[in-house]
Amino acid sequence: MRRKRKIELVVASRNKDKAKEIKEILKGLNLKISSLSDYPKAPYILENGKTFQENAIKKAVKIAKFTGKLTLGEDSGLEVDALRGEPGIHSSRFSGKDKNDLKNNFKLLRLLEGLPLAKRKARYVCGVALADGNGLLGVVEGCCRGLIGYRMQGSFGFGYDPLFIIPKYKKSFAQLGPQIKHKISHRFRSLNKARNLLLKYLS
């Protein structure tokens, strides 16, 4: 019996860590997963939406239009209760123009300085949108609740993972590693919902 040809899914991101994580979570589907690293001439996407879902839709639709291929747009970030939901959609650029993960984490620690663990509640949120050359196919969202630790711990992951503590394990995402993170994270939960859209599309 002839094997069905894999359909290409373009992840609308140049973030290698994010693309790798998405690829890991979606494994098992009949997809050839690429990213914007494979499309150097892809247009820049201004992330000026008011929500994670809005930004995810912008990415998916614009890149699907450019490539003519099935595209996954993703936008995610951290919402901290004590900071009234900040950094939110500004998570990746929280520390300003010369931002990076380390600077973002240090800024967060500085803003929460002196607060007890009970007042350091936060949630990771992930919006995922799927589109093809004909337009938007659907959008979903997932979240994962936790606490912001007092110091960075662990070497796995990226973003705020070294600070994001899962109370059940009393460890950060960066300490837990992919075996656990990829079963409970905001990205896993949103991609799990997106999986149903993908299965429908592939059939």
Active-site positions read: 75
Distance (Å, rounded) from C-alpha 148 to C-alpha 158?
A: 15
Burial of 154 (0-12, 13-18, 19+ CB in 10 A): middle
Separation of alpha carbons 140 and 15, rounded Å: 20
Task: Tell me the C-alpha distance between 177 and 2, whole Å.
Answer: 37
Which residue from 19, 25, 24, 21 is spatially nearest to 39, judged by alpha carbons? 19
Locate 29 and state its tokens: 């589907």
User: Does residue 61 contact residue 136 with C-beta atoms inside 8 Å?
Assistant: yes
